[in-house]
Amino acid sequence: MKKLKDFAFIVVLNSVVLFGFHAQENPIDKKVQDLIAKMTLEEKVGQLFQVSGEEVTGPRGEKINITEYIKAGKVGSCLNIYGTKNVMRVQKAAIESSRLKIPLLFGLDVIHGYKTVFPAPIALASSWDPEIVRKAQKIAAKEMSSSGVMWTFTPMLDIARDPRWGRVVESFGEDPYLVSVMGRVSVEAFQGESFDKKDSVMATAKHYVGYGAVQAGREYYTVDISKRTLWEIYMPPFKAAVDTHVASVMPAFTTVNGVPMSANKELVNDVLREKWRFQGITVSDWNAIHELINHGVAENGADAAVQGINAGVDIDMVGGDYMNNLAALVKDNKVPVALVDKAVARILKKKFELGLFDNPYKYCDSEKEKEELLSSANREAAREIARESIVLLKNDNNILPLKMKDIKSVAVVGSLAESKRDIIGPWCGIGSEKDTISVLDAIKDVIPRGTVLNYQKGSEIEDNNESLVNAAVNAASKSDIIIAVLGESSEMSGEAASRSSIEIPEAQKTLLKWLSITGKPIVLVLMNGRPLDLSWEDKHIPAILETWFPGTEGGNAIADILFGKHNPSAKLPITFPKSLGQVPIAYNHLMCGRPATTETVTQKYVSKYLDIDNEPLYPFGYGLTYTAFSYSPIYLDKKEIKIGESLAASVVIKNTGKVDGKEVVQLYIRDMLASVARPIMDLKDFKKVSIKSGDSVKISFTITSDHLKFYNKDMEEIIEPGTFEVYIGTNSRDYQKESFKVVK
């Protein structure tokens, strides 16, 4: 047994001071302090209050006259107010009528596009292409910033591992590394190089932290999370966002170790601010400070306000507990004014950095707004981005792309085929169905002349009847091929949209079963916001395309793939289980004492189910293409390294198919022996490459200390010498394998 402690290499974690200058050396800090000196206590508290416009994205509390509050200097920021005209009108109240003329911030949930809607985040992550995500977020930033909005409540960095949870759709999936990468590019895309730019807006890393771990996937429910899981799985994307200088962080509605995140001083103040040196604003989730009362940790609004401000939450979104109580609490010496001043300073600093004191209407540009929103370039980008986000799950006998010279008639079935609302998904900014291309529209557009198109709805999303089904079966029987567009409505995913079943809603599944009885080949085009249990479909349907919610140009993107204009290359950022009974089922589970391997699986006392095997239906990282790739064995340039050294791992990948394509090459590592149980593999890097038919490319990864460290029993990040296995492959199940040693 090796004496790990002797040669453990402690990775120095201490953060560096990010902005290496002191307050008094920064001209903005001076301006902030000068302004604070002029403010009354009530005006300070006003900066900490965020109000919502008429549109509500949470339970509505007390209704207030926003304009009157703004004029009295009692509001610091607004959400759900957008559009040049509206923002100008509201900003005007602050600038022309409030005593100190402090400009307001305008925030909105721009989650996957503002007016041009891009694929939902889970789909964006399926591209496994950070540049595609950057492109989408950059356009969203351009559109919103021309329309008065300078603050988005995105990216959502919650790790999503339970398909019942509706917010899987807003996430970048189950893996801390992939989520960190996509989160980082999102922050960079929104914020740009500096806030001087007109199209640089503030991003928000949310929901800090652990929200995705709600038990049984039930929204807003209990979170019980070990320190190890918290730090290894849930925290890294937030650390990555803070390191990318994200402007704001939103604590989650949920608890960690019994403490609601809106009152969690340990994680908000001590970790986020002190350990990680986060310099930006923290904004509560909708009414979350007030909900401390419902959590049973605050007696009343005043108590909730004390706990929120003490924890380090700067802005009270909508709830009003800061507005109603903080000034009195300060006067009664229950909250130090210094705490309020610090929160106010952070908010004012962002307002100065954004240039709002120089020009409060900087983001209001009606000409640019007209030009930018839904421009043809943005639409074209949306189509490209959607194509990159659609995952081909099954394609027996290369049924796709459709060989139209052999097809004389096509049946398109499913209400989602004609739906222009569902295809843009939940949290779709100000996107409108009026601007959307449905699957049916797009198919009509590209189907060759002379080919008969038989469209039948066949079913509503959650309801059907005999005549709908009969009409669809009839249309299907007359056709050479069926394109069934099925899945979830947009409302079945997102916030407050947990499901206890993860199957295609029964009404549509019944329809699909009837269609399959016709014996006609079926292409199942799925729209949904979470992994579904597709076990039946996988057995009976020859081709399955996971399109998630692909956005404004989703119909065209789907048609591009169906008809072979585009070769799909996306991969799953989250595991698809064989049944809900397997959940939770992330790919990087720990090694266990009685694993079920090929040799042991028939034995009784091993880790398995009696009625189903342990394997997922579609593993993390999985996705097909119209071509094929072969992988050479892995070549390591060194078989042994010292702690602190790096090595290169390479493979040669050949496109052995007939068409050009893209492959997502994935690098996983496993620590074979450590002082605590380690995952069977962890994603450490990936590269998306284009390879022409018949060509080969060499792909190399550099494996560094960063890829080998983990938290030991004392939660120190260390590297322990020993053997590491390296896997490079096309998904987390199919790969080449090698190993190397780390010595002291």
Q: Which positions touch ligand NOJ (CB under 6 A)?
A: 57-58, 79, 109, 153, 206, 285-286, 495
Q: In terms of Cα–Cα distance, which of 241, 255, 246, 170 is closest to 211?
A: 255
- When the beta carbons of 57 and 535 are compared against ligand NOJ, the nearer one is 57
d(CA 121, CA 168): 9
CB 409 within 8 A of CB 479: yes
E strand segments, 273-429: 281-282, 316-317, 391-395, 409-413
- In angstroms, rounded to a whole number, what is the distance separating the alpha carbons of residues 348 and 515? 60
Q: Looking up tokens 């074209």, which residue turns up?
A: 380
Going by C-alpha positions, the residue among 106, 284, 292, 280 that lies closest to residue 208 is 284
In the bound complex, what is the minimum distance in angstroms from residue 573's beta carbon to ligand NOJ? 19
Q: How far is the CB of 55 from ligand NOJ (least distance, A)?
A: 9
> Is the peptide bond between 207 and the residue preceding it cis, with omega within 30 degrees of 0?
yes
382: amino acid identity, one letter: A
Minimum separation from the CB atom of position 79 to ligand NOJ (A)? 6
Nearest-approach distance from CB 9 to ligand NOJ, in angstroms: 39
217 vs 401 by CB, closer to ligand NOJ:
217
Burial class (CB in 10 A: 0-12, 13-18, 19+), 435: middle
Q: Which is nearer to ligand NOJ, 80 or 666 (CB)?
A: 80
- Please choose, from the candidates 143, 149, 152, the residue with its C-alpha nearest in 3D space to the C-alpha of residue 427: 152
- Kindly write down the DSSP assignment for every residue of 328-358, as one continuous string: HHHHTTSS-HHHHHHHHHHHHHHHHHTTTTT
Q: Give catalytic status of residue 303 as yes or no.
A: no
Minimum CB–partner distance for residue 156 and ligand NOJ (Å): 7
Phi, psi of 698 (to 5 degrees): -95, 130
Place of tokens 């016709």: 518
8-state DSSP, 270: I
Choice between 80 and 378, CB closer to ligand NOJ: 80
φ/ψ (deg, to 5) at 74 = -105, 15
- Tell me the angle at which helices 554-562 and 439-446 cross, rounded to the nearest 10 degrees: 50
Cα separation of 165 and 72, whole Å?
A: 41
Catalytic residue, from 109, 162, 199, 285: name it: 285
Side-by-side strand order, sheet with 281-282: 204-208, 248-251, 281-282
- Angstrom CA distances, 217 to 163, 502, 579, stand at 7, 11, 15
Instruction: Provide, rounded to whole angstroms, the least separation between the CB of residue 192 and ligand NOJ.
Output: 21
Per-residue exposure over 301-335, b if at least 16 CB sit within 10 Å of its own CB, e if not: bbbbbbbbbebbbbbbbbbbbbbbbbbebbeeeeb
Residue, CB closest to ligand NOJ = 57
Residue whose CB is less far from ligand NOJ, 153 or 620: 153
Radius of gyration of the chain (CA): 27
Other beta carbons within 10 angstroms of residue 611's beta carbon come to 7
Give me the least distance between CB of 35 and ligand NOJ, in Å please: 27
Q: How far is the CB of 82 from ligand NOJ (least distance, A)?
A: 12
* Nearer to ligand NOJ (CB atom), residue 153 or residue 576: 153
Q: Tell the smallest beta-carbon distance from residue 291 to ligand NOJ (Å).
A: 11
Cβ-based nearer residue to ligand NOJ, 9 or 211: 211
Q: Would you say 287 or 625 has its CB closer to ligand NOJ?
A: 287
The DSSP H or E segment spanning 79 is strand 77-79
Give min distance, CB of 241 to ligand NOJ, in A: 15
Identify the bridge partners of residue 394 per DSSP, sorted by sequence position.
Answer: 544
- What is the C-alpha separation between 65 and 244, in angstroms, rounded? 37
Closer Cβ to ligand NOJ, 153 or 686, answer by number: 153
Nearer to ligand NOJ, 220 or 711 (CB): 220
Catalytic residues: 285
